[in-house]
Amino acid sequence: MTPERWQQISRIFESAISLDPEARAAYVADQCGVDESLRSEVEKLIDSHRKASEENFIGGLAAENNAALLIDENEVQTEHRTLKKGQQLGSYVIVDLLGAGGMGEVYLAKDTRLDRTVALKVLAPNIAADKRRMQRFRQEAKVASSLNQPNILTIFDFGEIDGLTFLATEYIDGETLRDYLHTKRLKLGEVLDIAMQVLAALDAAHEAHIVHRDIKPENVMIRRRDRVVKVLDFGLAKVTEKKTATRASDESEMEAATALKTTPGTFMGTINYMSPQQAQAHAVDERTDIWSTGVMIYEMVTGAMPFKGATSSHTIVQILEKDPGPLSKQVKVPAELERIVLKAMAKNPEDRYQTAKDMLIDLRNLKRQLDVSAEIERTSSPSMPQATVAADEMPRNSQKTRVLVFALIAMALVTAAIFGVNIWRSSRARPNVPTSPAPVAERSLTYWVTVQKFRNGKPYQDPFTQPGEMLFEADYQIRLNFRAPQSGHLYIVNEGPSGASTTPEFNAVFPTPTANGGSSLLSAEQIIQIPEQTWLKFDRQEGTEKLWLVFSNEPLPDLERIGEFAGPRTQGQITDPSLNKFIQDFLRTHSDPKPDYEKGDTLTTLKSTSNVIVYPIKLQHH
């Protein structure tokens, strides 16, 4: 079938099905005229349309409709190698099967040498035969056993007996935080206790330059008898670059460190707890664990994950873009806890807690304050909202009451101040929220600059975001990001530091033949990143680069031509003198009136009531 024929059929089909069934036949007959085969095609399609609706053809999701296809291959393998109760494996006697999964099985076992109970993880034979998987298993053993901290699961032994590879760890009689969350809603005091212990574990790991990278409720165990928290599964952990010069004379240590240094930017972990850096496959550091801990606390407090979409793609987009929303939406929480959690979940790692210890200290102070409030609640009885979210009971001496009242008032003031700051910040970060009736047809465009440092040609540290104003080093590479509440056409040219000469020369930046599908049209709320795959870097000539933005509610045919030059052929250089001249005149005539701009910590928003916004982003570089 030719595309023309296809278009013809689809046009008639679409109109026909929007009509009542009685009117359809006449319409189709009328449209097709004497072309019998056309009519037959259309009628068959209409019939298929009816059947497809009735059968709900391809109505669900492919993955759901075919779930069975996905499962049966990998699932069944682990059964056959089960160790029996009472069976001996070296000095271990199997007591019970605790669980099984793709990697192997976990048994409750008795170590007869030391007469202690252990959890014995036995690797499935097909996995043990796989070199790379074995290496990962070994890494987990090495990393975790190098850490000695009460909140980290202790590794006892690792080896091979009778052809079976195993890992023996401390056995925790308890449940995972995930199971715990399934069964009950946590009290605030419990949340803080758990969070503080997780952070204590992370502090120790980070101290040893180990990033866990997979903090989530499934990997946090709570021991039944004393509620002690254990962080599990350093299987995804990585050793970060040593910040201080440590003597790495020990060769095996060196070897372990190199083996663990995975390529920066690998996808890892459960999606919902991933930091934006993990989700974008950027290199991650300790602050990724801070993020995940924040997400976990959020979930413990509200009972819901802050980022959870219909599919993994939706979730990732939320992680990158969505404001997690206030904790206090469903439950009453102290403003200070909200501040701590939201700080941990700052999109930009620079805005997060920089160390687990700092976050731990803030939580500990909060816990103390809440304990104090609870105490006051009991001894005197002013009704203080803070006090009703009581932390754990802690018997105290009532003589302290006066001092405590003072402390409480001070705390309330601090809380109010923090809350006030938050309101101020959020209103600044979202300049488009109308506070009064909106002025007629005000247009706005928000931009921000992502900066990636490079060293020796390789990305170095996490990229960060800023509103455009800074001194760029020669080895910084950048991306421009734009978003607007209304759709419009965007054009960008670059004017170099040489400044206005008689023969203007601009470089094409946007549109390009590939970015945004080759279109200059920015849809409402679409975020566009320029360039899409790579980075812009500065050339050798120091000075101020002007990136001229033109944002128009109509397409501008002359400026559309910019795209012709945004290719490897001209290296972006606009070689047509008449176009350069046109651009120069256009920028000059439209620069006035200047748009209003608001600079935030990371974003700049331009506003104007005219149909065309013209604005130069100035980037100063060495």
Residues of this chain, 288-327, that bind other proteins according to CB under 8 A: 310-314, 316-317, 320-321
Q: Is 527 in the site for other proteins (CB under 8 A)?
A: yes
Q: Does 263 bind other proteins (CB under 8 A)?
A: yes
Q: Is residue 178 part of the contact set for other proteins (CB under 8 A)?
A: yes
* Count of residues of this chain found to bind other proteins when the rule CB under 8 A is applied: 111
Query: What is the CB neighbour count within 10 angstroms for residue 438?
Result: 9
Q: Is 181 exposed, middle or buried (0-12, 13-18, 19+ CB in 10 A)?
A: middle
Tell me which of 111, 193, 214, 285 is the catalytic residue: 214
**Are 471 and 477 spatial neighbours (Cβ–Cβ below 8 Å)?**
no
**Shortest Å distance, C-beta 321 to other proteins:** 7
Q: Does 256 bind other proteins (CB under 8 A)?
A: no
Site for other proteins in 471-510 (CB under 8 A): 477-478, 494, 496, 507, 509
> What CA–CA distance (Å, rounded) separates 549 from 488?
12
In the shown chain, the binding pattern of residues 105 to 134 toward other proteins, with x for contact by CB under 8 A and - for none, equals -x-----------------------x-xx-
Q: Choose one: 232-240, 325-333, 382-390, 412-420; the region binding other proteins (CB under 8 A).
A: 232-240
Task: Figure out which of the listed residues 17, 25, 346, 556 binds other proteins, where binding follows CB under 8 A.
Answer: 17
564 contributes a contact to other proteins by CB under 8 A: no
Pick out residues in 416-455 that bind other proteins (CB under 8 A). Answer: none
- Binding residue for other proteins, selected from 90, 269, 306, 511, defined by CB under 8 A: 269
From the CA atom positions of the chain, what is the Rg in Å? Answer: 31
d(CA 550, CA 443): 12
The DSSP H or E segment spanning 198 is helix 188-207
Whether omega for the bond prior to residue 531 falls within 30 degrees of 0, making it cis, is yes
Contacts with 225 (C-beta within 8 Å, 6 or more apart), sequence order: 173, 174
Instruction: Name the segment binding other proteins (CB under 8 A); options: 70-78, 160-168, 418-426, 429-437.
Output: 70-78
The amino acid occupying position 142 is: K
| Minimum CB–partner distance for residue 98 and other proteins (Å) | 8
Q: Which residues from 365-424 bind other proteins, rule CB under 8 A?
A: none
Min CB(429)–other proteins separation in Å: 19
What would the x/- binding string for other proteins be over residues 181 to 220, using CB under 8 A? Answer: -x-------------------------------x---xx-
Write the DSSP symbol of residue 40.
H
The two three-digit tokens of residue 360, written as one number? 């731990």
Q: Report 234-253 residues binding other proteins (CB under 8 A).
A: 235-236
Residues 576-605 that bind other proteins (CB under 8 A): none
57 lies in the site for other proteins, by CB under 8 A: yes
Q: 147 or 617, CB closer to other proteins?
A: 617
Report the nearest approach of other proteins to the CB of residue 611 (Å). Answer: 21
- Give the residue with the Cβ less far from other proteins, 136 or 347: 136
Binding flag, residue 67, other proteins (CB under 8 A): yes
613 with 595: CB under 8 angstroms?
yes
Least separation, in Å, of the C-beta of 508 and other proteins? 10
Q: What is the DSSP string of 158-192?
A: EEEETTEEEEEEE---EEEHHHHHHH-PPPHHHHH
The three state secondary structure string of 386-437 is HHHCCCCCCCCCHHHHHHHHHHHHHHHHHHHHHHHHHHHHHHHHCCCCCCCC
Contact assessment for residue 189 and residue 390, using Cβ atoms and an 8 Å cutoff: yes
Asked if 35 is an active-site residue, the reply is no
Note the helical H segments in 33-169. 36-55, 62-65, 67-75, 125-128, 131-145
The answer to whether the CB of 233 falls within 8 A of the CB of 214 is: yes
Q: What's the closest the beta carbon of residue 481 comes to other proteins, in angstroms?
A: 9
β-pairing verdict for 543-552 and 521-522: unpaired
Asked if 102 is part of the footprint of other proteins (rule: CB under 8 A), the reply reads yes
Out of 3, 382, 434, 439, point to the residue binding other proteins (CB under 8 A).
3
DSSP three-state, residue 483: strand
For other proteins, give the closer residue by CB, 148 or 544.
544
Our CB check for other proteins shows the closer of 329 and 540 to be: 540
- The C-alpha atoms of residue 257 and residue 143 are separated, in whole angstroms, by 9
Residue 381: C-alpha distances to residues 401, 407, 412 (Å):
11, 15, 16
Q: Nearer Cβ to other proteins, position 106 or 363?
A: 106
Q: Does 521 bind other proteins (CB under 8 A)?
A: yes
φ/ψ (deg, to 5) at 545 = -85, 130
349 touches other proteins (CB under 8 A) = no
Residue 572 contacts other proteins per CB under 8 A = yes
Q: Does 155 bind other proteins (CB under 8 A)?
A: no
Active site residues: 214
